[in-house]
Amino acid sequence: MTPTRRRRLLLVIGILVGVSLAGGLALSAFRQNVTFYFVPTQVAEGKAPVGESFRLGGLVAKGSVYRKPGSMEVHFMVTDLKHEIPVEYTGVLPDLFRENSGVIVHGKLLPDGVFLADQVLAKHDQYYRPPGIHQAWGIRHGDPRDPALVQEAHTAPLHGSVVAATEYAK
């Protein structure tokens, strides 16, 4: 390799390293702002913004969904299996909204501890299977006993899944 080429090679590597470093520093500095949603444990620890809108993510607690008759109002608990936050929402729910399944709600935490949501999004995982297979396992999707989820929580604490986020929050 000629000296000019080596110099250019070093320059290109230098650019790459510099930009990666700058990017890494910027991202770690803005880590809080990159937080797309908070989990109930973080809210319970007071890490979520007070009096401002934010997103709350977790599982819809089993048996907690209550629909007010004759209206679009729905109440449910969002849990990360350690803490639960009651959520109130009026509007259309996404198709994938169901108990024991991932959900991300946007809204404000009221002084009485109820989260008033103005948007409800369903979060699904990367596991796809035909109907029937999970029933054979006796495990529902999103169930903390789901081997996939448990595996995830143990080996990848930073993974975007709810259970993993709980692990991380500890």
Partner 1 sequence: MAWTWFHRLASPPHVYRTAGRLAPWFAWPAAILIIAGLVGGLWLAPPDYQQGDAYRIMYVHAPSAWLSLMVYTIMAVAGGIGLIWRMKVAHAVAAAAAPIGASFTFATLVTGSLWGKPMWGTYWQWDPRLTSELLLFFLYLGYMGLRAAFEDLQRADRVSAVLAVVGVVNVPIIHYSVVWWNSLHQGPSVMYLGKPTMPPSMLVPLLIMFLGFTLFFGAVLLMRLRGEVLNRERTARWVAEEIGA
How many C-beta atoms lie closer than 10 Å to residue 61's C-beta? Answer: 19
27, 46, 90 from 115: Cα distances, Å: 29, 14, 12
- Which of 19, 25, 50, 72 binds partner 1 (CB under 8 A)? It is 19
147-155 vs 162-169: helix axis angle to the nearest 10?
30
Whichever of 50 and 151 has its CB closer to partner 1, that residue is 151
Q: Judged by CB under 8 A, how many residues of this single chain contact partner 1?
A: 53
Region 86-145 residues binding partner 1, contact defined as CB under 8 A: 92-97, 101, 104, 119-134, 141
Contact 59, 80 (CB under 8 A): yes
CB of 166 to partner 1, least distance (A): 11
Query: How many Å apart are CA 59 and CA 96, to the nearest integer?
Result: 12
Note the residues at the interface with partner 1 (CB under 8 A). Answer: 5, 8-9, 11-12, 15-16, 19-20, 23, 27, 34-39, 57, 92-97, 101, 104, 119-134, 141, 148, 151-152, 155-156, 158-161, 165
